[in-house]
Amino acid sequence: VTAHIDTAGFEARYRDEGDPWGYETSDYEREKYAATLAACGTGPFERALELGASIGVFSALLAPRCRSLETIDAAPTAVAAARGRLAGRSGVSVREGEIPSALRAGPYDLVVASEILYYLEPAALDATLDALRTRMAPGGRLVAVHWRPPGPERPFDADQVHARLMACEWLSPVFSGDHPEYRLDVLVRA
Ligand SMILES: C[S@@+](CC[C@H](N)C(=O)[O-])C[C@H]1O[C@@H](n2cnc3c(N)ncnc32)[C@H](O)[C@@H]1O
pTM beyond 0.95, yes or no: yes
Closest C-alpha to ligand 1, atom 5: 53
Q: Determine the residue type at 87.
A: A
Give the pLDDT confidence of 94-148 residue by residue, as tens digits. Answer: 999 999 999 999 999 999 999 999 999 999 999 999 999 999 999 999 999 999 9
Taking the C-alpha atoms of residue 179 and residue 69, their distance in angstroms, rounded to an integer, is 27
Give the pLDDT confidence of 76-92 residue by residue, as tens digits. Answer: 999 999 999 999 999 99
Q: Is the CB of 96 under 6 A from ligand 1?
A: no
Three-state secondary structure string covering 7-44: HHHHHHHHHHHCCCCCCCCCHHHHHHHHHHHHHHCCCC
Number of neighbouring beta carbons within 10 Å of residue 124: 16
Classify residue 41 as exposed, middle or buried by CB count within 10 Å of its CB (0-12, 13-18, 19+).
middle
Q: Is the CB of 73 under 6 A from ligand 1?
A: yes
**2 pLDDT above the threshold of 90:** no
Which one, of 54, 75, 53, lies nearest residue 7 by Cα?
75
Taking the C-alpha atoms of residue 113 and residue 182, their distance in angstroms, rounded to an integer, is 13
- Which band of pLDDT confidence, cut at 50, 70 and 90, is reported for residue 1? low
Give the pLDDT confidence of 123-136 residue by residue, as tens digits. Answer: 999 999 999 999 99
Give the pLDDT confidence of 24-83 residue by residue, as tens digits. Answer: 999 999 999 999 999 999 999 999 999 999 999 999 999 999 999 999 999 999 999 999
Q: Is the CB of 52 under 6 A from ligand 1?
A: yes
Strand partners, 89: none
